[in-house]
Amino acid sequence: MKTIFIAGPCVIESAELLDTVAGRLVELNRRLGVEIIFKASFDKANRTSIHSYRGVGLEKGLTMLADVRTKWGLRLLTDIHESWQAAPVGEVVDVIQIPAFLCRQTDLLVAAAKTGKTVNIKKAQFLSGADMRYPYEKAREAGAQEVWLTERGNAFGYNNLVVDFRNIPDMLHISPTVIMDCTHSVQRPGAAGGKTGGNREFVPAMALAAKAFGTNGYFFEVHPDPDRALSDGPNMLKLDDLEGVIKTLL
């Protein structure tokens, strides 16, 4: 099975940012012989503070993502937070992602499945890998032909996540495709004064550890200047560092 790579900015900030990241991904795809799926969110509905930047919205965001596909030829992934968003998103992207906190929401899973697109379900911070059998079954029984599961750490105590890498083989018993979210797993939720902190220096090690446990896909949020990003900056990988990390995984 070919290794899956997913990368892109946490949230759509501007067309210029999307072009910068997409252009680099195309270059890496060609030079490394991989296929990196482009990821960006049109809306971050689960920000810590009501004052935090959320994105450009559904209509404008889908137009901008469609422009990325037309200009750069990349496959696309984005997330949805409400079931009514599934149909229009399914017209544009290849993979619909279900956020971790929402992975038990039956209507959301069913709506995503009915689009016919691949559904990537992030494991909730409060679930074990084995518990992901039930979200997986909901999507499959609603008609999804391909369902991926994504590990992103568990909450133990306040403002911290811990990755139990045994979740990866547990989820491989459920789905043939298990993705490691290497950047969200180093988050410090709510630990930065009304926004999420993180420790991006651990991202490469998270990826290598996941490889040792058998994961067959990797998710990286990347940005040219993470310290100035409008969402998730502390745990995002610098765009210039992505190539080196992928090379170690190959």
CATH of the domain at 131: 3.20.20.70
Q: How far is CA 144 from each of CA 3, 120, 136, rounded to the nearest angstrom?
A: 21, 10, 9
Task: Compare 149 and 161 and report the one with higher pLDDT.
Answer: 149
**How many Cβ atoms are within 10 Å of 100's Cβ, its own excluded?**
21
Give the number of domains in the chain.
1
What pTM does this model have?
A: 0.93
Which residues neighbour 133 within 8 Å (Cβ) at sequence distance 6 or greater? 174
**pLDDT exceeds 80 at position 34:** yes
User: Are 199 and 169 in contact, with CB atoms under 8 Å apart?
Assistant: no
Helices vs. strands in the chain: H and E counts, helices first? 8, 13
- The band of 196, judged by pLDDT with boundaries at 50, 70 and 90, is low
Q: What is the pLDDT of residues 94-133, one digit of tens each?
A: 999 999 999 999 999 999 999 999 999 999 999 999 999 9
Q: Residue 97: helix, strand or coil by DSSP?
A: strand
Supply the range of the domain harboring residue 187. Answer: 4-249
